[in-house]
Structure 1
Amino acid sequence: MTFFNSYEGLSFDLAIILVIDLTIAIALLAAMRYLQGWSVKVDSRIELAEKDNFAFGISTAGAVAALGIVLTGAITGEAAESFLIEAIGMSAYGIFGLVLIKFGRYLHDKIALNEIDKNALIIKGNISVALVDAAAAIATAIIIRSVLMWAEDLTVDTFIAIFSAFAVSQLMMVALTRLREIRYAKRNQQASMQQALAQGQTALAIRHAGYMLAMALSFNAASHFIVYVPQAYVSNILGWLAFSVLMLICLSVLLKIVKKLVLAAINLAEEVEQQHNIGVATVELAISVAIAMILTSLMA
């Protein structure tokens, strides 16, 4: 009887914690939807429901999905010492994740997509730019989640470690974009990949989205090899940097081999970059994500 009563008490406590986590998660997801409109100074309801702006919808969907991914990293499945600590921890990680997502998108806009005005293009209904924006947000969220799962406790050191890995991930996102731009320019008489996206080349956007998601998934593998040491700030950031570069190289080599096998006898550059073949681009995206997931699973 004593055991049964204890089990009942434990179940009740877990139910309360579940309600706390769900309430905070729902509140943050709702805030993200409105934050999308506030950040570009538009009414999200008007853009989504009256103007039927598909691009804004895609961008908002990416932001909401990204926050949901981050929140899964904040929910550890372990009960905190008290309901208050659980609420504080969930809120702190959730809000910090939301801030990092927005900051990551800001950096992506200003550095990675420095040739175009992303927000203005999305408001005008540019689907291609919206797809890249959504993929960048989700990729950032995948990385933040992996770091949340890697770090431990709720201290200043934890947030420093999370931000350090986040900074490395954003550097790698910019490096990936620049690498793709260089390759695109070589194949298209020095044309700009960013300008091609601004002109609405959806196939190009889909393929680039696949590369960003694949890089984020492969970045996740680092959490299985780097030991979290709270105050080892330099070694933590160098470890994430070294491992992410290694994983990006491995991923690039594997993707080149697999795409030549799966999409044999197909000129990918011509189909995607010149003929704007969305079907081929989507297959490329699927291959990129699949290989990254397989690589990450093997590393785990």
Structure 2
Amino acid sequence: MTFFQDLGITSELMFILVIDLTIAIVLLTLMRYLQGWSVNVNSRDELAVKDNFAFGISTAGAVMALGIVLTGAITGEAASSYAVEAIGMTAYGLFGLILIKIGRWFHDKMALNEVCKNDLIIKGNVSIAIVDASAAIATAIIIRAVLLWAEDLTVNTFVAIFSAFAISQVMLVLLTRLREKRYAGRNQGASMQQALAAGQTALAIRHAGYMLAMALSFNAASHFIIYNPEAYIGNLIGWSMFSIIMLATLSLLITLVKKLVLATINLAEEVEKQQNIGIAAVEMALSVAVALLLTALMA
């Protein structure tokens, strides 16, 4: 105990850390089982008996997403009591879990409206699983940013969080529609969703990069939008305007960087025709790197 005291860690703080960690582990475990319950399958059978890689990727995305959200719920500051700490951590954790599930449902119905995501994942479609996992992680990055932006633990706080979350989901769908339009224009009107359903993994990896990049850029909004829990309309307008500006800026920068870094390479041919996973992975890395740089500069 002397060692921890020398580091400035009191017994009260250690107990709070134990509370937070215990609640986090319980919620992560719950998320794993929710994956199976939500599609009426046994998660253990899918993961360990059938060796369903797609289900594993989807589950990994959900678990990682919840872990990201929980980092936004943990402030690092001790609450006024153990009960308040437990209630706050549980409330934010459960709210984050619910938002992740809502986000995935919204993405399934609106972004992936041409395919049945759950059926394809149960059948082992890795491409759809990659998009699903990336959408969950992107949603979690956004939720975490909003949790850190908001303050206190009131009804108005949750309204403010949900408002920003709703805007982010609309922007993810808009991003998907823009990517679909570009894909159709290069492939004689073909559907990007049907290509993903057909198992084009390279296409899924590239699209995942765009979703993660948009989520990371969304993070910068918390540095510019002043938190006011009672300004419902103001919050919606602020997040909406900033999201559109960031999406446009990010798209232009990613296009420019890819043309410079991957000069002389026909990206559409390599990814969409030849299904070159290596090139798609580089594209994904560049998208995320640009978003991280943009977010750091704006912070």
- Distance in 2 between residues matched to 1:16 and 1:166, nearest whole Å: 32
Query: What residue in structure 2 maps to residue 272 of structure 1?
Result: 271
Identity, % of aligned positions: 75
Match in the other structure for 1:113: 112
Instruction: Give the aligned partner of residue 76 of structure 1.
Output: 75
Alignment partners' CA distance in 1, 2:290 and 2:163:
26
Amino acid at match of 1:263: L
> Which consecutive residues of structure 2, in runs of 5 or more, have no partner in the other structure?
none
- Report what 1:3 is aligned to: none
> What SS is found at the alignment partner of 2:10?
helix
Point out where structure 1 has 5 or more consecutive residues left out of the alignment: 1-5
Quote the residue 2:285 is aligned against: 286
In the alignment, residue 20 of structure 1 is paired with which amino acid? Answer: I
Q: Tell me, what secondary structure is at the counterpart of 1:231?
A: coil
Pair 1:185-2:187 in alignment: no
Q: Which residue of 2 aligns with 1:156?
A: 155
Residue type of the partner of 1:284? Answer: E
* Cα distance in 1, alignment partners of residues 42 and 31 from structure 2: 13
The 1-side partners of 2:229 and 2:281 are apart by: 41
2:211 partner letter: M
- In 2: Cα distance, 1:38 partner to 1:236 partner: 35
Q: TM-score, normalised by structure 2?
A: 0.97
1:175 counterpart = 2:174: yes
Matches of 1:244 and 1:9, distance apart in 2? 40
Deviations 1:236-257 (A, max 9, x none): 1110110011011110000111
Q: 1: CA distance between counterparts of 2:223 and 2:10? A: 32
**Distance in 2 between the 1:9 and 1:266 partners?**
54
How far apart are 1:10 and its partner, in Å? 6.8
Three-state SS of the structure 2 residue aligned to 1:291 is helix
1:191 aligned counterpart, secondary structure: coil
- Measure, in 2, the Cα distance between the counterparts of 1:19 and 1:125: 38
Q: Distance in 1 between matches of 2:22 and 2:90?
A: 10
Does structure 1 residue 212 correspond to structure 2 residue 208?
A: no
Letter of the 2:88 counterpart: G
Report SS of the residue matched to 1:227: coil
1:7, distance to aligned residue in structure 2 (A): 8.9
1:1-300 correspondence runs (5 A) = 11-300=10-299
Q: Give 1:152 deviation, angstroms.
A: 0.1
**How big is the shift at 1:71?**
0.0
Partner secondary structure for residue 250 of structure 2 = helix
How high is the TM-score relative to the length of structure 1? 0.97
- Secondary structure at the residue paired with 2:207? helix
In the alignment, the residues of structure 2 paired with residue 9 and residue 112 of structure 1 have an alpha-carbon distance, to the nearest angstrom, of 48
Structure 1 residue 205 displacement after superposition: 0.1
**1:266 is paired with a residue of what secondary structure?**
coil
Aligned partners of 1:15 and 1:287: how far apart in 2? Answer: 40
Residue by residue over 1:119-149, the C-alpha shift from the partner in whole angstroms, topping out at 9 and shown as x without a partner, is: 0000000000000000000000000000000
Note the alpha carbon deviations across 1:235-286, whole angstroms, 9 max, x for none: 0111011001101111000011100000000010111001100000000000
Aligned length: 295
DSSP-derived class of the 1:265 partner: coil
Write the distance in 2 (CA, Å) between the matches of 1:230 and 1:211.
30
Aligned mates of 2:184, 2:255 — CA distance in 1: 18
CA distance in 2, matches of 1:99, 1:235: 24
Q: Distance in 1 between matches of 2:229 and 2:121?
A: 40
Give the CA deviation at 1:294.
Answer: 0.3
Matched residues in 2 for 1:9 and 1:270: separation? Answer: 57
Question: Separation in 2 of the partners of 1:179 and 1:21?
Answer: 40
Distance 1:265 1:88, change over 3 A: same
